[in-house]
Amino acid sequence: MKGIAASNGIAIAKVFKFEQPVLTITRKEGKPEEEIAKLRSAIEVSIQEIETIKEKATGKLKDEELAIFDAHLAVANDPEFFSQVEDKINSENVNAEYAVEEVANMFIGIFESMDDEYMRARAADIKDVTFRIKAHICGERLADLSTISEEVVIVAEDLTPSDTAQLDKKYTTGFATEMGGRTSHSAIMARSLEIPAIVGVKELMTSVEHGQMMILDAINGEIVLDPTDAQIAEYTEKKNAFLEEKKQLMELKDLPSITADGVHVELAGNIGNPSNMEGVIKNGGDGVGLYRTEFLYMDASELPSEEDQFEAYKAVLATDPTKRVVIRTLDIGGDKKLPYLTIPPEMNPFLGYRAIRLCLDRKDIFRTQLRALIRASKFGRLGIMFPMIATLQEFRNAKAMFEEEKANLIKEGYEVGEKIELGMMVEIPAAAVLADQFAKEADFFSIGTNDLIQYSMAADRMSEAVSYLYQPYNPSILRLVKMTIDGAHKEGKWCGMCGEMAGDLKAIPLLLGLGLDEFSMSATSILAARKLVRSLKKSEMEELANKAIACSTMEEVLELVDAAVEKK
């Protein structure tokens, strides 16, 4: 089987098939005594399971993250809830799973319509716990990533970013999913966790069985099922060679990111949480070009407080106060959801209510984050950037709120950093086209090619069927990138890139030639990028880039890049 190599490496292990049962619940006649007995035993087993999961997570997760299990236990132990379920079974002679579903839906409806954020979050808890109970009544087992205790390759239809965040690196040697492209967030998480991954594998779930042996070649995007001994030997050798090359690159860790003709660029890391800083430092990153703060929100059971956020931002900034850290404000929506924040369903969530659009509407959420950022600014070199900016008005509104909160904090007696850079993501074509105007008001740009390409090509980044349109080397994309960089430079501002294209060895020569100042990528890509940058002359890459933007197809561009890099 073939798929898209999303995070390099090779894994050889047994398959752990991660799939939740589909429960089809219908109303049936039941004997109340029997149904109530089934209900009580399902509740008991569920409580035990939640307690075990909590125990396993203790020490691994923070207290506030562990609190989610207490909330689940509170639901599972709620006498009011279950006396209503029992009443329903007794009075209507219905089956237990149906009664649980009916009562749960009623409570979920009530909680979801409440104004209070905390109470709305309880709806997600009820859904979660009652799904577990219904599954037990129906005799189904729930899949649980935290129960894995041997080396496996996880196989799933899709892994949500929060599933991916829960993976235990000790046992997860790799994963493969049916859904997703190279820039889906589970792929991005896999790279930051350094777990080999292949995504977008057609018919994966119907072709693979739990416990089967698998070779996951996430360098070439290939899967071998039930490998022979000879194949296992061959891939073990490939895996060792891969690890050896990784080791050799380590020699470049402390060398400057400078081209062969002496031009400095910045090679920074993308992170999802403070603990990822370790990877950036280990791989010799010049700073952080993108901290995706949404993971902080996704890992919590309710909106993180100003204090919690402050601690996280401070930890990242203080790791090395000489290195610039660009923290992006909340980019929720699209494929990133918060269980406790109800976003009305939309036909096209990537084109909908997400990122800065949501933040400018939910000012309470946005102001809390800005305050935490500004308070943390004195601990290092902070750049703040806003995601999904489409119009100057949005940038101005966001900037105005930043200024207001900064003034408030100073009035309250807080010390703030001397210089906080305020920039924006350029990931909507409208912003790229108007970059020269934006550059008058923003301190810097960071090009988000994952979204910029999806919006320019009108190709959903989650769709495997249209993944051929993810074409970073298409001249149309190169022209948008050029417009953005030129726009920034015209106003004396710097321009970075934090989409996956920035760490792509075939794109780097072009980006260097187009004048990109900062390249921000998965930490594990930094050293290979440094090796390449040090071998290239900027002046030659400028010539290459000029030819590339005059091409008509991406294939022509790739031919030019191959010829130019091969000469080295």
What positions carry a catalytic annotation?
185, 498
Q: CB-wise, 451 or 517, nearer to ligand PEP? A: 451
Q: CB-wise, 273 or 449, nearer to ligand PEP? A: 449
By a kind-dependent CB cut-off of 5 to 8 A, residue 499 interacts, out of Mg ion, ligand PEP, none, with ligand PEP
- 448 near Mg ion (CB under 5 A): yes
By a kind-dependent CB cut-off of 5 to 8 A, residue 368 interacts, out of ligand PEP, Mg ion, none, with none
Q: CB-wise, 38 or 292, nearer to ligand PEP? A: 292
| Phi and psi at residue 268, to the nearest 5° | -115, 170
Provide, rounded to whole angstroms, the least separation between the CB of residue 487 and Mg ion: 19
By a kind-dependent CB cut-off of 5 to 8 A, residue 504 interacts, out of Mg ion, ligand PEP, none, with none
What is the spatial distance between Cα 281 and Cα 67, in angstroms, rounded to a whole number?
31
Question: In Å, how far from its chain's centre is CA 505?
Answer: 21
- 451 near ligand PEP (CB under 6 A): yes
- Pattern 24-63, ligand PEP, x by CB under 6 A: ----------------------------------------
Report CA-CA distances (Å) from 270 to 231, 274, 335, 356.
35, 11, 18, 19
Could you identify the residue written with the tokens 């709305």? 120
CA within 13 Å, CB half, 21: 15
- 522 near ligand PEP (CB under 6 A): no
Report CA-CA distances (Å) from 508 to 324, 347, 534.
21, 35, 11
Q: Looking only at residues 254 through 293 of this chain, which bind ligand PEP when binding is defined by CB under 6 A? A: 290, 292
Q: CB-wise, 497 or 528, nearer to ligand PEP? A: 497
Q: Tokens for 509, please give them.
A: 């020569």
Q: Looking only at residues 314 through 373 of this chain, which bind Mg ion when binding is defined by CB under 5 A? A: none
| Candidate ranges 133-141, 268-276, 397-405, 451-459; the one touching Mg ion (CB under 5 A) | 451-459
- 377 near ligand PEP (CB under 6 A): no
Q: Tokens for 477, please give them.
A: 């994309």
Work out which of 451, 500, 517, 540 binds Mg ion, going by CB under 5 A.
451
By a kind-dependent CB cut-off of 5 to 8 A, residue 493 interacts, out of Mg ion, ligand PEP, none, with none
| Candidate ranges 67-75, 86-94, 145-153, 446-454; the one touching ligand PEP (CB under 6 A) | 446-454
Q: Looking only at residues 173 through 232 of this chain, which bind ligand PEP when binding is defined by CB under 6 A? A: 183
Amino acid, single-letter form, for residue 5 = A
Q: CB-wise, 183 or 467, nearer to ligand PEP? A: 183
β-strand partners of 14: 152, 213
| Candidate ranges 142-150, 193-201, 243-251, 447-455; the one touching ligand PEP (CB under 6 A) | 447-455
Provide, rounded to whole angstroms, the least separation between the CB of residue 29 and ligand PEP: 51
- 427 near ligand PEP (CB under 6 A): yes
Q: CB-wise, 333 or 448, nearer to Mg ion? A: 448
Work out which of 283, 377, 449, 484 binds ligand PEP, going by CB under 6 A.
449
- 331 near ligand PEP (CB under 6 A): yes
- 329 near ligand PEP (CB under 6 A): no
Provide, rounded to whole angstroms, the least separation between the CB of residue 183 and ligand PEP: 6
| Candidate ranges 48-56, 57-65, 86-94, 442-450; the one touching ligand PEP (CB under 6 A) | 442-450
| Phi and psi at residue 257, to the nearest 5° | -85, 90
What is the spatial distance between Cα 563 and Cα 55, in angstroms, rounded to a whole number?
56
| Candidate ranges 274-282, 398-406, 442-450, 533-541; the one touching Mg ion (CB under 5 A) | 442-450
- Pattern 407-436, Mg ion, x by CB under 5 A: --------------------x---------
Report CA-CA distances (Å) from 243 to 42, 168, 170, 187, 400.
47, 20, 17, 20, 48
Nearest to 13 by CA among 227, 260, 234, 306: 227
Question: In Å, how far from its chain's centre is CA 55?
Answer: 26
Interacting residues of 499 by C-beta distance below 8 A, sequence separation 6+? 183, 427, 447, 448, 449, 450, 451, 452, 453
Provide, rounded to whole angstroms, the least separation between the CB of residue 482 and Mg ion: 20
Q: CB-wise, 290 or 541, nearer to ligand PEP? A: 290
Q: Tokens for 115, please give them.
A: 């104004």
What is the spatial distance between Cα 484 and Cα 488, in angstroms, rounded to a whole number?
6
Q: CB-wise, 104 or 326, nearer to ligand PEP? A: 326
Interacting residues of 78 by C-beta distance below 8 A, sequence separation 6+? none
Work out which of 181, 196, 333, 448 binds ligand PEP, going by CB under 6 A.
448
What is the spatial distance between Cα 333 and Cα 242, in angstroms, rounded to a whole number?
36
Provide, rounded to whole angstroms, the least separation between the CB of residue 185 and ligand PEP: 7
Nearest to 342 by CA among 103, 126, 124: 124
Report CA-CA distances (Å) from 402 to 195, 296, 315, 399, 425.
37, 20, 21, 5, 16
Nearest to 421 by CA among 341, 316, 495: 495
What are the E-state strand segments in 65-178?
Answer: 152-156, 172-177
Provide, rounded to whole angstroms, the least separation between the CB of residue 84 and ligand PEP: 42
Provide, rounded to whole angstroms, the least separation between the CB of residue 68 and ligand PEP: 24
- The answer to whether residues 453 and 472 touch, using CB atoms and an 8 Å cutoff, is yes
What is the spatial distance between Cα 460 and Cα 351, in angstroms, rounded to a whole number?
10
By a kind-dependent CB cut-off of 5 to 8 A, residue 292 interacts, out of ligand PEP, Mg ion, none, with ligand PEP
Binding interface with ligand PEP (CB under 6 A): 183, 290, 292, 331, 427, 448-451, 498-499
Binding interface with Mg ion (CB under 5 A): 427, 448, 451
